[in-house]
Structures are given as structure tokens and as C-alpha cells.
């Protein structure tokens, strides 16, 4: 195995000594004191040094852990041959003096500095170390490999520099590369960025490395602890060659990410130990900051002579004798001048999506170091790239038998939040990669079939019989429209989600449909209107009992961001709860002003709601609004409103009975097949949602305009408005969703046709005026059909006329007036209508109502 030692580099973790900090951060003299080009300082592990630098044969064994060529620059305070020199001398900030602008201090990398130090002992004791030493004596150093690996430092460095200088990724889609020129070497631009911004961290996508040089990638994954410092060295050489004048806080550190080795916590196994891995998960707990001592500072109580000792494997070898005055046991640890680095324990848990059914999620301990501390919070979804470690556990320090179990953890090298990207509306890279080539192929084949739309809609909730159009509507909802951003023109985000309301008789399997959808989509929420309050839907503020920190707890709507929120018993929701939905359903955001926290959360969720009629049974003589008693302001925000009614027809009954009976005797295998379909459907939707972003074609645009104008015309003939811009928007969304079903990048006329058909079907069901039989959109937009409004006006006019005719009696009884009016009119007038008419007159200040008496205003 490889060499050992904590890495090198200047330790600037948390210099508690002010003078040290000043030196490091500002004063050039301090920088000048480095030996050798800075890059070497970072590389204690590498046996690259020319043999001539070797101080004496005794040092051979430590060769791999410390760069020997630095030795002769070292301040004389430490005796080279003393056992204290075990640590890496190069790690001093106040290293050796040197001239030149490249003296940027290296920064220690505790993420690489391993716990694997036990191997170090080997290196000295096992004869095999001699091989390495022998190899090191070859002047060329070319055939030299790091002990225990097949990594040759010089080759590796060269390869990596070539990668940095040459790698071009014209197809890059990552957001962070958006402002870079895709035809220029990507990482050289990033270096330039570093020289300007001064943030000395270079993130390297392992995918790029592997496509550029598979061998280099293999080495990186297998021996990260050796290869990453080599990368560091390489990148620093390159950087300071190119930007000799730039001043960085510390040397550039390479942070690889996206190692394809492992994606799932569950698949980690002993073979991954000490390898570079990437896993995804959710942070469940973070510890307090742990200051970890990197270097102890001792001072002699007699002569004030000071000594520094590196922490090795968690131990400090306390010097027993002061080398200056030879007093024994006179050295005392000075905490203030010791060097510490930040460390934090983070616990991550498997993301719920990655888990097999019926098992509990696994957790893994992760250590974050230095500037990665406090980068993540509990609840964050993250991708972690790091080195997997296993440490044997000692049962008792005084006993020699060991518990035969290892403790495992990951030293983080790179964090990547997955939900952060959602903020920018970017596609989840994570999700994209879930599809294998073969899977994509099957999906594409399926999409190419002419009847894909019908196939998918029938695969949706197969246990629920019929209701084809409703299933089609829900299918389109699952796909959603294309997200458009009009924020530049001041309009903000344009809603891409389709909202659907199902209303109808109890027992028409609305709830089952909702449950099915909830189980189908990855980010779905299911809530019942009866059980949820406004708080449960939106977000609430909670005090964490441990930290006393105020935390924003998100409710169903926020949790289903980018997913579907299924709300059952929509009609039983309280008014205050419903009012929250107004903002969500059009603006797709959620504003919170509570306990001093004012914020706007994204809630780009589609809503699938189910409502029961007020009178337990749907009354076909009433309008939708009257049946479900929901405010029209809310109803108009639904793109599609479907009625689920019992069709009461013999052929239907027969088919339904057959369908249900078959449920009861179909064998397990047949059921399995259905389940397979669900998996395909899931993938199909996920794929379409992340890859397909259809745009309107010219013809489709024309078709939409025509459709809209046509809809407007229908109404205008009868003196009513039959379509509003909202309906046009709905049509566009539906057409886009339909194009997604076909995996088409263009919305074409057939998409518009289907959108029109579906929209019309839904309207026919929900917006038909029961009095006239015409579809009347104003039922949904204003809550009253045009004919009903006309009727109301007529009655009001008649009432007014009647009252005017008998001005002599300014006071009259309610019931009497009602009877009189009924007698006068040729059509039946209900009490409700009469009351409405009275109220209208009252609003006109024509009369006043007090209790059961009506008084004419004078």
C-alpha cells in the first residue's frame, strides 16, 4: 500500500497564532521562505525527488512520506535525524526561504491525510520498502511508482497537465460553465477564473477525465490519496507558470467530483475502501465543529525553546527531552500556538428514491474538513465525492484483541447539493444519469409508436376502469408543459404545470386515482383536505429543540416542488387553507411571513385535486360551481376539470363487472406484468420531463390562435365570453405536454388538436350550463353562467317594476312580496333568486331590508 502520512503543505487550518496568520496571508517575505517550487511543498507523498537530495540513508524509509529535497532548507530547529522528524517538515507555514512569486503557501488537506497511517509502520518495518528505495535511486525516476500503487508521479503529472491544457467539452451543459467558451480548453478557463476570483479550488469532473484518459481516471479512482496531490502539484505548476503574479490564499486544491464508481450507498462494499467514490444521499445530522489538532506546539519551561510536533494517527509524540537545554520532561503543550484544522461530522442517509421497497435506509458517516465544514445542512440532498475509509475498532486500549468490525466513513473531497440546482430550474443531473443506454433505447422505441399516447394512458391505473379522457388528462399533467421564463419582461415564471380537478359522485374511485398518481411520481405528496391546515400545506416555523435554531419546516406544497400534490376532499378544505392555493396555482411560489422569517419558496407543483359534491350525489340540474361550492377564482386556475360520474349504461356495467371480477382471480404473474409497466411508465415520464423541452412550431402557433379565436366566437354569438387568455395558456401547456409524450422537440398541429379535444371534453363535462345545455366558460370564471346572470337581471327588473307600481306602501312583508312576484311572473322564481334580486336592489340603494320587512328607500 502506499505511503502514509498526513499530507504536507503548510498548515493553515486555524492558526491561533496571529503572527503566523499575518505571515501567511500578507507578507511576501513569509512566502519567500518556501523551499523549491511551491508545488513540491504540497507533495510529501511523492518520491520524485532526485536521489541527490537525500540527506542520508537513514531517511530512505521516510522517503515516501516526506519530500526529502526540502530537508536542507529546513530551519535548524529540528534535528533531521531525530524521530521527531517523522512528520512532514514541509508542512510548516514558515517553511524554507525562497525567492520568487510562487511561494503561495500550500494548505493542508486533511481530506486526503489518511487514517490509513497504520500502513506507515509497515513501510518502515517491511522489507518491501527497500524496493521502493532501490527504485528511488534510479536517477531518471521514470520507472518509479508510489509504493503499493502503479502511479508514476511524473507521468501522472504530465498526463493531468495535458488534460488541463487540452480538454474541450463542446457539449457541456453544466450551469457553471455557461459563461465559458466551449471551444477553448475548459479547465484553462477555469484556472483563469481562479486567478481573477482568487478562490483556489479547482473542481474537476471525473467524467471529463475518464473521457480524456481512461487510465488516468482509473488511477484517480483507485489511488485518490496519491493521485490527487499529484494533480495539485501539476495544477499549481501550470497555474503559476501562467499567472506568475496572482496571489492566492493558499495553493490550488483539486477537487474531483462525479466519480462514476458508485452511485448508491447500498452498493458500497469492502472493495471500495480507500477509493474515490461518489454517492448521493440526504444530510440528516451535522455535528458541531471539531477542532482537530494538526500540529502541537511545545515550549520548554526552562529555556523557552519551542518544538513543533505533528499529530500522527491521532497521537502526539511528546518530546521527552528539550534539545536545547537537555532538561527532561520540561516541554509543555501551548494550545494557543498549536495548529488546528476544522472538521465536522456529517451523517447522510440514502435518498428515499434509491431504496428498495421494504428496507430501511442506510446511513453513512462523512467527515468534512476545512472550508467544507458547514457547507451542508440537515435535509439537504447532496452528492458526495470522497474517499471511503475503514478503521478497525479497538475494544479496549488495554486489551490486544480487537472487535472484528471496522468503522467506516467517508472523507469528503467535494460536496454537490442536488436541490440547489433546482433553484435555478436546472435539470437534475442525478436523475438524468439513471437511464442506461438500453433503457433510453426502449423508451425511444416506445415513444416512436404511433399509439404511444393511448398506450400510456391505458397503462395508467389499470385497475380503474374506463375514464379514458381523465386518464389522458392526468397523463399530460404528469408530463407538464415547457417551463418558460419571462422574468426579463417582468412577467416572471410562466406556469408549466397542469392542474386538474376531479369532481363527482362518491365511490367513483377518485381517491384511488389520486393514490395511484401519488405512488407514481417521485416527488408527490398526498394530503386530504379534511386533515390539512394551511400550515400543513405551506410551511411552518419550528424551534429545533437541540440547537434552539429556528427552522422552516416545509409542508406538502413545497415538498412536492417539481412534483404533484394530490389533494383529496378538496371541498372540505377550510377557506384559509384554500386561499393559500391561489398563489401557488398561478405564481408557483409560496410567500411566508412568520416568526420574523419572510421568504418566498418555490412551489412549482401540479395540483391534482378531488372534490365531492355538496349534496353527496351529483345534481345534474346544477352547475359545477353549485355542486361543489368552490370559489370560481380557484376553479379558474384548474386547466382541466373533469366530472367522474356513474355512467349507468348496460354495456359499461358489463365491462366494469368483468374488469372487477378479473381482479380477483388473476395470478401473481399477470400482476407482475402490470407492475413492470408501472416502472416503464415512471422512467418514461422522468425521461421526458428532463430531456424533452418542446417548443411551439409555426403551424402549431397558428393552430392555437385559431383554436382560441374559435372558442371566443362560440360565446360571442350568444353574448357571452367563452374563453379567456387563461384558457389559451392551458391549451399551450397541454399541447406541449402532448408533444413530450411523443418525445418531440416541436409542438405540432396534432398536439394542438389533442389539447383542443381534451380541453373541450373537460369543458363539456364541467362547464355545461344545465339550463341551456351550452358550454359556458363563465360558469367557471365568474361562478355563474351567462343565462343565469341574464335571468337574475330580468327578475331584478321585474321586481323593481312591481315595487315602482306601488310606491304608496313603502313598507311590506318579505313573504307577501315574494308571493306577489311569483304570481306575476310566468316562469318559476325560486326563493334564492328572489333574495338575490332583493339584494341587488338593496345594493342600488333602492330599498333596505331589515329582518322580514322591506322598506323602500325614499
Report the site for another protein in 652-671 (rule: CB under 8 A): 653-654, 656-658, 660-666, 668, 671
Instruction: Count the site residues for another protein by CB under 8 A.
Output: 97
Contacts of another protein in 600-619 (CB under 8 A)? 612, 615-616
- Going from the C-alpha of 78 to that of each of 114, 189, 319, 343, the distances in angstroms are 24, 42, 12, 28
How many CB atoms are closer than 10 A to CB 485? 11
Q: Shortest distance, CB of residue 292 to another protein, whole angstroms?
A: 7
Give the nearer residue to another protein in terms of CB position, either 296 or 300.
296
Using the rule CB under 8 A, give the single segment among 245-253, 334-342, 398-406, 751-759 that binds another protein.
398-406
Residue nearer to another protein on the CB measure, 205 or 383: 383
Dist. CA 78–CA 309, nearest whole Å = 10
Within positions 98 to 117, which residues make up the interface with another protein, using CB under 8 A? 115
- Decide whether 311 or 732 has the Cβ nearer to another protein: 311
412: which 3 cell numbers?
469528503
Window 708 to 767, contacts with another protein (CB under 8 A): none
Q: In angstroms, what is the minimal distance from the CB of 801 to another protein?
A: 41
Q: What are phi and psi of 594, to 5 degrees?
A: -155, 140
In this structure, the strands spanning 640-644 and 500-504 are parallel
Looking only at the bridges linking them, the beta strands covering 363-369 and 306-312 are unpaired
By beta-carbon proximity to another protein, the closer residue of 325 and 660 is: 660
Shortest approach of another protein to residue 65 CB, angstroms? 16
- Closest approach of Cβ 850 to another protein, in Å? 36
Quick count: other Cβ atoms within 10 Å of Cβ 632? Answer: 16
- 424 membership: H or E segment, kind and range: none
643 φ/ψ angles, rounded to the nearest 5 degrees: -100, 135
Q: Are strands 746-747 and 853-856 parallel, antiparallel or unpaired?
A: unpaired
Site residues for another protein, 807-836, by CB under 8 A, read: none
Residue among 276 and 556 whose Cβ is closer to another protein = 556
If one asks whether residue 379 binds another protein (CB under 8 A), the answer comes out as yes
State the nearest-atom distance from the C-beta of 379 to another protein, in Å.
Answer: 5
How are strands ordered across the β-sheet holding 525-528?
Answer: 525-528, 564-568, 606-611, 500-504, 640-644
Contact 343, 288 (CB under 8 A): no
> What secondary structure letter does DSSP report for 768?
B
Stretch that binds another protein, among 134-142, 357-365, 768-776, 799-807 (CB under 8 A): 357-365
Identify the residue among 178, 183, 336, 400 touching another protein (CB under 8 A).
Answer: 400
What minimum distance in Å lies between the beta carbon of 89 and another protein?
22
Q: How far is CA 305 from CA 93, 299, 332, 339, 766, in A?
A: 19, 6, 10, 18, 90
Region 196-225 residues binding another protein, contact defined as CB under 8 A:
none
Q: Which is closer to another protein, CB of 398 or CB of 548?
A: 398
Give the span between the Cα atoms of 428 and 411, in whole angstroms.
Answer: 24
SS (H, E, C) 288-307: EEEEEEEEEEEEECCCCCEE
Q: Residue 418: what are its φ and ψ, rounded to 5°?
A: -85, -30
119 with 4: CB under 8 angstroms? yes
Name the segment binding another protein (CB under 8 A); options: 192-200, 646-654, 794-802, 841-849.
646-654
Using DSSP's 3-state secondary structure scheme, residue 388 falls into strand
CB of 125 to another protein, least distance (A): 8
Contacting another protein (CB under 8 A), which of 236, 508, 730, 796?
508
Q: What is the CA radius of gyration of the chain?
A: 37
CB-wise, 183 or 401, nearer to another protein?
A: 401
Classify strands 811-813 and 853-856 as parallel, antiparallel or unpaired.
antiparallel
Which member of 52, 171, 399, 488 binds another protein (CB under 8 A)?
Answer: 399
**Contact residue for another protein among 72, 173, 403, 760 (CB under 8 A):** 403
Q: How many residues does the chain have?
A: 858
Is position 451 an interface residue for another protein (rule: CB under 8 A)? no
H or E segment and range at residue 542: strand 539-543
CA 160 and chain centroid, separation? 31
Closer by beta carbon to another protein, 358 or else 490 = 358
Among 100, 352, 492, 810, binds another protein (CB under 8 A): 352
Which residues from 261-280 bind another protein, rule CB under 8 A? 268-270, 273
Least Cβ distance, residue 318 to another protein (angstroms) = 7
Beta carbon of residue 182, minimum distance to another protein (angstroms, whole number): 38
**Half-sphere exposure in the Cβ direction for 59 (13 Å, CA):** 28
Position 509 contacts another protein (CB under 8 A): yes
d(CA 287, CA 701): 55
Sketch the per residue contact string, 408 through 427, with another protein: x for CB under 8 A, - otherwise.
xx------------------
Is residue 674 within the footprint of another protein (CB under 8 A)?
yes
Pattern of binders to another protein over 132-171, x per CB under 8 A? ----------------------------------------
Give the span between the Cα atoms of 106 and 236, in whole angstroms: 10
**Interacting span for another protein (CB under 8 A) from 118-126, 133-141, 448-456, 748-756:** 118-126
Under DSSP, the state recorded for 508 is S
Q: Mask 510-549, x = binds another protein (CB under 8 A)?
A: -xx--xx--x--------x--x------------------
Residues 284-303 that bind another protein (CB under 8 A): 284-285, 287, 290, 292-293
- Given candidates 101, 154, 303, 345, which one binds another protein under the rule CB under 8 A? 345
State the Cα–Cα distance between residues 736 and 460, nearest whole angstrom: 20
Q: Which string of x and - marks every residue 677-706 that binds another protein (by CB under 8 A)?
A: -x----------------------------
155 or 264, CB closer to another protein?
264
Question: Nearer to another protein by C-beta: 26 or 118?
Answer: 118
> To which residue does cell 376553479 refer?
635
Of 262 and 787, which CB lies nearer to another protein in the complex structure? 262
Assess 469 for contact with another protein (CB under 8 A). no
CA 400 – CA 384 distance, rounded (Å): 35
Q: Output 213 or 292, the one with its CB closest to another protein.
A: 292
Q: CA 842 to CA 820: how far, in whole Å?
A: 19
Please, which residues have CB within 8 angstroms of residue 396's CB and are 6 or more apart in sequence? none
Closest separation in Å from C-beta 831 to another protein: 24
Burial 800-824 (b: 16+ CB within 10 A, else e): beebeeeeeeeebebeebbebbeee
Quick one: cell of 379?
A: 435535509
Which part of the chain contacts another protein (CB under 8 A), choosing from 76-84, 441-449, 507-515, 727-735?
A: 507-515
Residues 158, 664: Cα–Cα separation, whole Å: 68
Residues 554-583 that bind another protein (CB under 8 A): 559
* Window 312-341: residues binding another protein (CB under 8 A): 314-316, 318
Residue among 51, 97, 378, 522 that touches another protein (CB under 8 A): 378
Amino acid at each position: 500500500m502506499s505511503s502514509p502520512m498526513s499530507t504536507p503543505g503548510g498548515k493553515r487550518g486555524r492558526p491561533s497564532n496571529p503572527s503566523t496568520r499575518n505571515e501567511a496571508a500578507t507578507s511576501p517575505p513569509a512566502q519567500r521562505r518556501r523551499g523549491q517550487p511551491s508545488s513540491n511543498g504540497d507533495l510529501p507523498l511523492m518520491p520524485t525527488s532526485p536521489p541527490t537530495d537525500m540527506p542520508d540513508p537513514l531517511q530512505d524509509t521516510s522517503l515516501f512520506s516526506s519530500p526529502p529535497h526540502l530537508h536542507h532548507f529546513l530551519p535548524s530547529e529540528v534535528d533531521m535525524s531525530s524521530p521527531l522528524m517523522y512528520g512532514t517538515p514541509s508542512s510548516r507555514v514558515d517553511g524554507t526561504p525562497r525567492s520568487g512569486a510562487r511561494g503561495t503557501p500550500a494548505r493542508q488537506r486533511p481530506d486526503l491525510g489518511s487514517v490509513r497511517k497504520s500502513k506507515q509502520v509497515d513501510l518502515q518495518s517491511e522489507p518491501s520498502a527497500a524496493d521502493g528505495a532501490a527504485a528511488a535511486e534510479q536517477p531518471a525516476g521514470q520507472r518509479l511508482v508510489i509504493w503499493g500503487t502503479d502511479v508514476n508521479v511524473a507521468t501522472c503529472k504530465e498526463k493531468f497537465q495535458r488534460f488541463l491544457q487540452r480538454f474541450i467539452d463542446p457539449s457541456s451543459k453544466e450551469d457553471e460553465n455557461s459563461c465559458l467558451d466551449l471551444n477553448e480548453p475548459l479547465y484553462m478557463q477555469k484556472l483563469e477564473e481562479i486567478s481573477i476570483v482568487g478562490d483556489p479550488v479547482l473542481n474537476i469532473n471525473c467524467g471529463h477525465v475518464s473521457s480524456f484518459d481512461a487510465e488516468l481516471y482509473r488511477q484517480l479512482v483507485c489511488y485518490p490519496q496519491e493521485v490527487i496531490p499529484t494533480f495539485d502539484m501539476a495544477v499549481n505548476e501550470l497555474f503559476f507558470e501562467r499567472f506568475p503574479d496572482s496571489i492566492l490564499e493558499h495553493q490550488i486544491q483539486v477537487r474531483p467530483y462525479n466519480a462514476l464508481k458508485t452511485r448508491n450507498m447500498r452498493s458500497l462494499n469492502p472493495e471500495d475502501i480507500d477509493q474515490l467514490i461518489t454517492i448521493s444521499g440526504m444530510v440528516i445530522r451535522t455535528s458541531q465543529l471539531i477542532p482537530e489538532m494538526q500540529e502541537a506546539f511545545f515550549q520548554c519551561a526552562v529555556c523557552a525553546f519551542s518544538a513543533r510536533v505533528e499529530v500522527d494517527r491521532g497521537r502526539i509524540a511528546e518530546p521527552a527531552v528539550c534539545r536545547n537545554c537537555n532538561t527532561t520532561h520540561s516541554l509543555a503543550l501551548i494550545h494557543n500556538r498549536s495548529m488546528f484544522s476544522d472538521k465536522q461530522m456529517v451523517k447522510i442517509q440514502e435518498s428515499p428514491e434509491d431504496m428498495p421497497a421494504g428496507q430501511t435506509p442506510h446511513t453513512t458517516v462523512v467527515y468534512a474538513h476545512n472550508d467544507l465544514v458547514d457547507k451542508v445542512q440537515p435535509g439537504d440532498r447532496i452528492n458526495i465525492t470522497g474517499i471511503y475509509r475503514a478503521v478497525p475498532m479497538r475494544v479496549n486500549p488495554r486489551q490486544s484483541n480487537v472487535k472484528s468490525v471496522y468503522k467506516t466513513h467517508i472523507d469528503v473531497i467535494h460536496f454537490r447539493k442536488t436541490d440547489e440546482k433546482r433553484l435555478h430550474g436546472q435539470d437534475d443531473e442525478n436523475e438524468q444519469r439513471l437511464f442506461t443506454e438500453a433503457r433510453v433505447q426502449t423508451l425511444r422505441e416506445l415513444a416512436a409508436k404511433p399509439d404511444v399516447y393511448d398506450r400510456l394512458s391505458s397503462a395508467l391505473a389499470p385497475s380503474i376502469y374506463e375514464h379514458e379522457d381523465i386518464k389522458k388528462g392526468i397523463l399530460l399533467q404528469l408530463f407538464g408543459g415547457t417551463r418558460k421564463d419571462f422574468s426579463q419582461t417582468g412577467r416572471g415564471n410562466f406556469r408549466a404545470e397542469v392542474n386538474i380537478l376531479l369532481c363527482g359522485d362518491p365511490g367513483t374511485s377518485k381517491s384511488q386515482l389520486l393514490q395511484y398518481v401519488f405512488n407514481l411520481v417521485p416527488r408527490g405528496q398526498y394530503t386530504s383536505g379534511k386533515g390539512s391546515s394551511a400550515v400543513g400545506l405551506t410551511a411552518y416555523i419550528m424551534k429545533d429543540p437541540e440547537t434552539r435554531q429556528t427552522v422552516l419546516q416545509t409542508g406538502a406544497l413545497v415538498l412536492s416542488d417539481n412534483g404533484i400534490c394530490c389533494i383529496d376532499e378538496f371541498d372540505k378544505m377550510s377557506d384559509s387553507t384554500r386561499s393559500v392555493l391561489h398563489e401557488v396555482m398561478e405564481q408557483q411560489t409560496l410567500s411566508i411571513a412568520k416568526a420574523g422569517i419572510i421568504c418566498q419558496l418555490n412551489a412549482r407543483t401540479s395540483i391534482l385535486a378531488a372534490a365531492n359534491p355538496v349534496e353527496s350525489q351529483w345534481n345534474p340540474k346544477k352547475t359545477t360551481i353549485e355542486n361543489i361550492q368552490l370559489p370560481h377564482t380557484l376553479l379558474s386556475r384548474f386547466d382541466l376539470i373533469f366530472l367522474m360520474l356513474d355512467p349507468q349504461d348496460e354495456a359499461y356495467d358489463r365491462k366494469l363487472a368483468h374488469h372487477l371480477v378479473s381482479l380477483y382471480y388473476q395470478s401473481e404473474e399477470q400482476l407482475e406484468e402490470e407492475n413492470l409497466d408501472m416502472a416503464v411508465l415512471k422512467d418514461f415520464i422522468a425521461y421526458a420531463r428532463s430531456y424533452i423541452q418542446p417548443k411551439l412550431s409555426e403551424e402549431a402557433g397558428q393552430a392555437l390562435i385559431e383554436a382560441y379565436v374559435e372558442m371566443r366566437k362560440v360565446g360571442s354569438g350568444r353574448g357571452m365570453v367563452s374563453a379567456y387568455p387563461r384558457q389559451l395558456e392551458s391549451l399551450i401547456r397541454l399541447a406541449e405536454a402532448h408533444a413530450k409524450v411523443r418525445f418531440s422537440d416541436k409542438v405540432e398541429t396534432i398536439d394542438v388538436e389533442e389539447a383542443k379535444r381534451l380541453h373541450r371534453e373537460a369543458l363539456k363535462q364541467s362547464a355545461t350550463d344545465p339550463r341551456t345545455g351550452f358550454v359556458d366558460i363563465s360558469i367557471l370564471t365568474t361562478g355563474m353562467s351567462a343565462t343565469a346572470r341574464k335571468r337574475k337581471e330580468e327578475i331584478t327588473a321585474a321586481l323593481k317594476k312591481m315595487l315602482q307600481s306601488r310606491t304608496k306602501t313603502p313598507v311590506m312583508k318579505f313573504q307577501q312580496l315574494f308571493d306577489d312576484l311569483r304570481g306575476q311572473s310566468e316562469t318559476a322564481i325560486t326563493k334564492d333568486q328572489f333574495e338575490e334580486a332583493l339584494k341587488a336592489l338593496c345594493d342600488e340603494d333602492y330599498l333596505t331590508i331589515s329582518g322580514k320587512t322591506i322598506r323602500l328607500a325614499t
